[in-house]
């Protein structure tokens, strides 16, 4: 009886891993709570399997949304469409949530529903803007009730930037976000005459670089592979942080385009930069693990080689950890920006979302209890972040709800490359298999009160959970990296 109460309490608190770990029969159950928990955890294959195996009459709005979105996420559009029709019959007066959730995996269908039912929201504005209907998007944005507490000023400002033509107007919308948070404004190269993209953004002045006492060293890990087009911007944005007590460990993963030369030039100019080079291309997470092993800071944060960070990012993410010793980590949001000056999101809306590489954590405590990133080639940031929250408790990870980084949206990034990223709003099979595999492991560890620790390297046979062979470094790479670490 007590375990049932704990399970119910976990569900009410949206602690879905805890809920499933306490629901011992969840794998054989298709009740509405189980389906919603699986959906919320992104376990879309599990939802689809339960839908296919068990014929049941769904009457719940949330269960229908879980089934519809899970179907579209995995490319099962025909099945998803069948349940959309049922949803329309039952809940035609309540379409907003379905449209928002469906937008992530089929924005055209979501937009059609929004138009059919004459919905108005920031999500619909984003859908219209993405479809190219800028005029209608502008009208709707202007007519939205700005006093509505559900309307995010951050999201509204970013949408305003997308709907603006001039660079100065776009920049003004972005700076409105920082001004409201009492943060320094940003400018563009050439007196704001450049196009808005990651490589043209820079601080407006050095006023933010006020002298601060050292409150501990932050080790920042940056891995790079053929990143010459963006890495200078990424490194400079870190070296110009208002909190200057850092070490920047940059690991080159056997680049062939001159990236290593750029890294070495920064190391010669700034003693805070520690350059490292892999002996062979092993992937970003083995590179991160090697850097984490070498890190000396009190805190650790990662930074992608094609991102730009606001000069007060470290200051804002570090402050909560300094004020509350019980906190183990902080995270923050980001926005992604094309070279043409348009803010984009795979989910369409919201445009400001959790930055998966933003975790800033206490090094010693996390390494002792959680260990390292899973040694795969893609998708391990989310697993690591989730593992930290489960190992220490969600309440010990605080979110700074501001876009403190701007990521470059380009075809070579892990999220966009055909072999590792998302195609046509569909989740690649291997990525989804990996996600659900580690989620199953997390549930089992929590149920059995086991250890969330992962070592720096695991052979295939030693892995705690399965991963598709396509995203695993081959065994010879693992052995070579292991030798290099030992030496």
> Any idea which residue has 């504005």 for tokens?
125
Does the residue 173 lie in any domain? no
What local confidence, expressed as pLDDT, does residue 2 receive?
58
Which of these, 101, 111, 62, 102, lies nearest to 81 by C-alpha position? 102
* Residue 264 shares a structural domain with residue 397: yes
- The residues near 230 (Cβ < 8 Å, ≥ 6 apart) are 198, 199, 305, 306, 307, 408
Closest-CA residue to 288 (of 186, 182, 385, 176): 385
CATH, residue 288: 3.90.550.10
pLDDT at 58: 82
| Residue 400 and residue 254 share a domain | yes
Question: How much helix, strand and coil, in percent to the nearest 5, is found in the chain?
Answer: 50, 15, 40
In a domain, 467, yes or no: yes
Chain-wide mean pLDDT for the chain?
A: 92
In a domain, 431, yes or no: no
**Does residue 32 lie within any of the structural domains?**
yes
Burial tier of 205 (Cβ tally within 10 Å: 0-12, 13-18, 19+):
exposed
Does 240 fall in a domain? Answer: yes
Last residue in a domain, options 141, 169, 194: 141
**Do residues 230 and 326 share a domain?**
yes
CA–CA separation, 245 and 213 (whole Å): 9
User: What is the extent of the structural domain holding 369?
Assistant: 218-421+455-484
Q: Do residues 242 and 103 share a domain? A: no
Give the tens place of pLDDT for each residue, 304-352.
Answer: 999 999 999 999 999 999 999 999 999 999 999 999 999 999 999 999 9
Q: Is residue 25 part of a domain?
A: yes
For 466-480, write each residue's pLDDT tens digit: 999 999 999 888 888
441 assigned to some structural domain? no
Longest dimension (CA), the chain: 68
Residue 366 tokens read as 């996390």
Contacts of 172 (CB under 8 A, 6+ apart): none
pLDDT for the residue 487: 62
Q: Which of 141, 166, 192 finishes a domain?
A: 141
pLDDT tens-place string over residues 341-400: 999 999 999 999 999 999 999 999 999 999 999 999 999 999 999 999 999 999 999 999
Among 141, 167, 187, identify where a domain stops. Answer: 141
pTM of the model: 0.93
pLDDT tens sequence across 170-227? 999 999 999 999 999 999 987 766 789 999 999 987 666 665 667 899 999 999 999 9
Q: Do residue 115 and residue 22 come from a single domain?
A: yes
Could you report the per-residue pLDDT of 98-135, keeping only the tens digit for each?
Answer: 999 999 999 999 999 999 999 999 999 999 999 999 99
Count how many domains the chain has: 2
Residue 149, pLDDT > 90, answer: no
């Amino acid at each position: 009886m007590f375990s049932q109460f704990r399970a119910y309490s976990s569900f009410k608190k949206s602690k879905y891993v805890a809920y499933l770990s306490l629901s011992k029969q969840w794998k054989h159950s298709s009740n509405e709570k189980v389906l919603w928990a699986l959906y919320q955890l992104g376990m879309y294959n599990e939802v689809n399997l339960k839908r296919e195996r068990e014929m049941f009459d769904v009457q719940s709005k949330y269960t229908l949304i879980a089934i519809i979105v899970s179907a579209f996420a995995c490319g099962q559009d025909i099945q998803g469409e069948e349940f959309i029709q049922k949803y329309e019959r039952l809940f035609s007066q309540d379409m907003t949530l379905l449209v928002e959730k469906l937008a992530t995996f089929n924005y055209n269908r979501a937009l059609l529903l929004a138009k059919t039912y004459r919905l108005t929201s920031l999500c619909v504005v984003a859908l219209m803007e993405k479809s190219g209907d800028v005029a209608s998007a502008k009208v709707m944005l202007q007519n939205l009730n700005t006093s509505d507490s559900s309307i995010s000023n951050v999201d509204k400002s970013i949408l305003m930037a997308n709907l603006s033509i001039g660079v100065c107007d776009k920049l003004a919308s972005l700076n409105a976000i920082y001004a409201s948070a009492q943060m320094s404004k940003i400018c563009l190269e050439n007196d704001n005459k450049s196009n808005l993209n990651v490589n043209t953004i820079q601080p407006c002045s050095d006023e933010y670089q006020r002298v601060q006492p050292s409150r501990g060293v932050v080790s920042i890990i940056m891995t790079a592979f053929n990143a010459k087009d963006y890495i200078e911007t990424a490194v400079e944005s870190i070296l110009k942080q208002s909190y200057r007590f850092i070490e920047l460990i940059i690991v080159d993963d056997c680049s062939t385009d001159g990236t290593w030369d750029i890294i070495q030039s920064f190391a010669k100019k700034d003693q805070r930069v520690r350059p490292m080079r892999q002996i062979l291309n092993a992937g970003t997470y083995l590179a991160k693990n090697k850097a984490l092993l070498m890190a000396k800071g009190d805190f650790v944060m990662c930074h992608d080689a094609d991102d730009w960070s606001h000069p007060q990012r470290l200051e804002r993410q570090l402050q909560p950890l300094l004020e509350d010793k019980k906190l183990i980590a902080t995270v923050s949001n980001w926005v992604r920006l094309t070279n043409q000056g348009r803010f984009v999101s795979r989910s369409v809306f919201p445009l400001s979302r959790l930055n998966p590489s933003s975790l800033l954590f206490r090094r010693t405590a996390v390494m002792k209890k959680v260990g390292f990133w899973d040694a795969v080639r893609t998708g391990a940031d989310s697993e690591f972040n989730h593992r930290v929250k489960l190992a220490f408790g969600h309440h010990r990870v605080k979110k700074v709800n501001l876009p403190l980084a701007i990521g470059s949206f380009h075809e070579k990034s892990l999220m966009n490359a055909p072999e590792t990223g998302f195609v046509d709003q569909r989740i690649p099979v291997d990525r989804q298999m990996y996600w659900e595999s580690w989620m199953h492991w997390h549930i089992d560890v929590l149920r059995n009160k086991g250890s969330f620790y992962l070592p720096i390297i695991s052979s295939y046979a030693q892995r705690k959970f399965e991963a598709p062979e396509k995203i695993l470094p081959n065994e010879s790479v693992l052995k070579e990296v292991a030798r290099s670490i030992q030496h």
